[in-house]
Homo-oligomer: A and B are copies of this chain.
Amino acid sequence: MVSSDGKPKAVVLLSGGLDSTTCLAMARAQGYECYALSVVYGQRHQVELQAARRVARALGAAQHREIGVDLSAFGGSALTADIEVPKGRSEDDMSGEIPVTYVPARNTVFLSLALAWAETLDSTDLFIGVNALDYSGYPDCRPEFIMAFENMANLATKMSTTQGRRIKVHAPLIRLSKAQIIEAGLKLGVDYGLTHSCYDPAPDGRPCGQCDSCLLRAKGFAEAGVSDPVLAP
């Protein structure tokens, strides 16, 4: 369904990181009225959420909701439990097995919550900023996962089963490199100074510069030939 000014509505998962911010900018550029959803999943720092709030405001989201799910109750990840975030790994280190920062079933849980909100908004469009290239170790960042989720969602909801409407899970970054993501975002006017990517920030919110996420971000900015505004002195 469409908003009062004729735009179709979309629910956009927004962590406040570089990828989800670019994804929100793309959804907006495609003409959607955007409903940004941040999932508070027991991550150890609130810096990410503050970034999500700044980004939702800057990119004109119609609404921004934060929903709490305490995935840390299940343990199993350096992002939710008391496991050390790895530092200073090379790309070869990262490309191997699934990293300890993998949160069990994270994107499944996130997309399920986005689907629940979409159904109450009468929206058939979900956006998620997953990326298959930079995070090849995460099973739930692959195109086949996104397609299987979309297929399931179309069997799960009232609007798709009784009203003949088709739910679509958009993953516009899925085949882009980090540099391509940054270039696309800059063209859309994204201010990456508002975003936060680090898995293990200092108490003042500054990125550590050594975790996988910081290293991938730095490489992306280097390859795009621009400087990262977050690191500006």
Contact = CB atoms under 8 A, between A and B. Distances in A.
Interface string A107-121: 111011101110110
Interface in A88-130: 97-98, 102-109, 111-113, 115-117, 119-120
Taking chain A's interface residues, is the majority helix, strand, or loop, or is none over half, making it mixed? helix
Interface stretch (A44-52, A147-155, A206-214): A147-155
A227 interface: no
23 contacts: A65-B74, A67-B69, A67-B70, A68-B68, A69-B69, A69-B113, A74-B116, A74-B117, A76-B120, A98-B158, A98-B162, A102-B158, A103-B116, A104-B157, A105-B113, A108-B156, A109-B112, A109-B113, A139-B160, A145-B155, A148-B152, A149-B156, A151-B151
Interface of A: 65, 67-71, 73-76, 97-98, 102-109, 111-113, 115-117, 119-120, 139-140, 142, 144-145, 148-149, 151-153, 155-158, 160-162
Contacts of A140: 155-157
Nearest to A106: B116
A221 to B, nearest CB: 30
A185 B65 CA distance: 41
Contact of A68 (B69, B74, B162): B69
Contacts of A109: 109, 112-113, 115-116
